Amino acid sequence: MTVHNFSAGPSILPKEAIEESIEGLRNFKNTGLSVVEISHRSPQWEETMVEMENLICELYGVPSDYAVIFLGGGASMQFTQIPQNLLPEGGMAAYLKTGTWASNATKEAKFWGKVHVVASSEDKNFNYIPKGYEIPSDAAYFHITTNNTIFGTEMHHIPDSPVPIIADMSSDVFSRPIDIQKYGLIYAGAQKNMGPAGVTLLIIKKDWLGKTGRNIPTMLDYRTHIDKESMYNTPPVFPIYLSYLTLKWLNKQGGVSGIQKLNQQKAALLYNEIDRNPLFAGTTAVEDRSLMNVTFIANNKEAEDRFDKFSEERGCNGLKGHRSVGGFRASLYNALPLSSVEYLVSVMQEFEKTF
């Protein structure tokens, strides 16, 4: 039986990238060594790091005044590392609270300075994106989470801001084009839409650094990793390598513009079935529905329990919703083929006939 992977993360990856990574584990670039045992100072690995950075710059149109770096610790590490590096002593940062990870980022920033929450959707269990808020012009930065994996909402419009925008793009990175110059920094844990867990991507405007007035430990200072080209210490080589292979695959799909069209097609197909099928209902405001994480519920507990088992028996993996929302969550990340969404829709229609 074919397994269709709708897991929210670690996420589905392109089979092509996985197969190539297996070969790299056996024999990396004809060195006779595995990618996980070759020196990170070897010409073969340094070449891969340069290729990875160039590929990211190509996909997102990154100009030369931005740096691309790869860090450990996951995106959650950035909740504290960002204000440590970018929130001046005595300063204030603005945050938009749209879900669990945005809330965690807000909490961590308070260790480093004042935090102003410009708006929150917590009043309705984060099932919408707030609008009509004002971004204070005296903030050091404005932090947003562009896609909310747990609650199934996505920011389809990035507001104009009087201060630099910092965006957590962990679950929708490389899923659509962005204007990188609207942001002072974007960051993303790899395991949602770029690669395996173990590496976090940052793209940051270089002239923004070194202005907080505080001393920052060497390993936590972004400038350290920029200066040493992400190799101040041994980088997480395999997560970077598989992420590189995934982005190579993405480039062959037409880049972020090409994959955006496919992502829109996948999401429309599933949302149309959710809206049509009397056994299911969406959980988020229609205008804020995520293209990456589709959240929905069954119309009663019996239907929910039965569909959970029904879909799993038919090879639909990872559909159970997060405990904060319940119901179901189908993650439609870049590597998920349209055929898997078509199959899920057919399973939902089959369930409707048997219920």
Active site residues: 101, 168, 192
Question: Which of 189, 148, 140 lies closest to 165 in space, CA to CA?
Answer: 140
* Long-range CB contacts for residues 186-191, cutoff 8 Å, separation at least 24: 187/75, 187/78, 187/82, 188/75, 189/74, 189/75, 189/76, 190/239, 190/243, 191/9, 191/10, 191/11
Question: Which of 129, 144, 152 lies closest to 6 in space, CA to CA?
Answer: 152
- Bridge partner list, 69: 202
Q: Residue 96: what are its φ and ψ, rounded to 5°?
A: -105, 120
Q: What does 255-279 look like in DSSP terms, one character per residue?
A: HHHHHHHHHHHHHHHHHHHHHH-TT
Strands 165-168 and 142-145: parallel
First-to-final CA distance of the chain: 23
Are 124 and 325 a contacting pair, CB within 8 Å? no
- Count CB neighbours of 207 within 10 A: 10
CA distance 144 to 10: 22
Q: Which residue has the tokens 């589905």?
A: 12
